[in-house]
Amino acid sequence: MTNPQPGWYPEAPGSPVLRYWDGARWTDQTRHQRPGDGSPWEVPLDGAPDPDRIRAQQRAAGVGQVGAGGGTLFTEPVLVVNQRVKLIELANEYAVHDQHGRQLGSVVQVGQSALKKAIRFLGSYDQFFTHRLEVRDAAGHPLLRLTRPAKFVKSRMIVERADGSPVGEIRQENAVGRIRFAFERDGARIGGIQAENWRAWNFAISDHTGTEVARITKTWEGFAKTMFTTADNYVLQIHRPLPDPLLSLVVASALTVDTALKQDDRGLG
């Protein structure tokens, strides 16, 4: 008999806890499996998180080691966002790590019908449909729910807490030139995000005064990943402690930048 291929497997039949098998032994890396929009047709290409690779992505973004955070998605000064690598992708999934490579949470796409998955498989028209995502902590518990309603030209993202209470909106302000989004709460603008060039690779995030408070930087995934998959990696650096709801909108925008801000086309906002 041969050992199973490296990958995530249930700790016991039917268990929601997955443990990583490296091909020879069980590791101490676990994660909580919760319902998402994953499909048996999707072909994952990534393995266990590699702290060295995650730290390298942070350095590639020009972000050095900064002060210690609180160990959660909302208390760390640096978040490294890795989209799950799939040869066939029908639903977006992301892992979120701190600057030391520890996984703090995840983002999963939920609520997709079989028809929407089929349309996504056949083309890019699903960008015009409604998208729903959940931001979850390391144990798999929902923290934020995000809804991007169906769009034609401009898009917006509705951000809610897990209990359905409103946080605010991320609303697209322009359709030509360097893409801009506003953070809004009860109709008032409390901050914004702007692409640094028309290709929308990197984003500067500001508060209501226009002062930069955070930055999103896209990192190079490698030739093979870029050419043959649609996965993206981003690093969020928050320059100083932020109040809510601005903090939640900043984190939400970074964790869903591909769906909320770049869904029109790869590399275009």
Higher pLDDT, 50 or 68: 68
Lowest mean pLDDT among 11-25, 63-77, 112-126: 112-126
pLDDT of residue 162: 92
Q: Is the pLDDT of residue 45 over 50?
A: no
Which residue, chain included where needed, has tokens 């160990």? 71
pLDDT band for position 166 (50/70/90)?
very high
Question: For the chain, how many residues are written?
Answer: 269
Q: What CATH superfamily is the domain 37-260?
A: LURP1-related (2.40.160.200)
The closest of 75, 245, 268, 100 to 179, measured between CA atoms, is 268
Beta-carbon-side half-sphere exposure of residue 224 (alpha carbons within 13 Å): 5
Cα 179–187–112 angle (5° rounding)?
65
Mean pLDDT value across residues 238-267: 78
Mean pLDDT value across residues 3-10: 64
Question: Which of 1-10, 22-31, 79-88 has maximum average pLDDT?
Answer: 22-31
pLDDT band for position 192 (50/70/90)?
very high
Q: Is the pLDDT of residue 125 over 70?
A: no
> Which residues are paired to 159 by β-bridges?
146, 168
pLDDT of residue 228: 34
Mean pLDDT value across residues 83-112: 73
Higher pLDDT, 38 or 242: 242
Give the 3-state DSSP-derived string for the chain, with helices as H, strands as E and coil as C: CCCCCCEEEECCCCCCEEEEECCCCEEEEEEECCCCCCCCCCCECCCCCCHHHHHHHHHHCCCCCCCCCCCCCCCCCEEEEEECCECCCCCCEEEEECCCCCEEEEEEEECCCHHHHHHHHHCCHHHHCCEEEEEEECCCCEEEEEEECCCCCCCEEEEEECCCCEEEEEEECCCCCCCEEEEEECCEEEEEEEECCCCCCCEEEEECCCCEEEEEEEECCCHHHHHHCCCCEEEEEECCCCCCCHHHHHHHHHHCHHHHCCCCECCEC
d(CA 174, CA 195): 11
Which residue spans of the chain are classified as CATH 2.40.160.200? 37-260
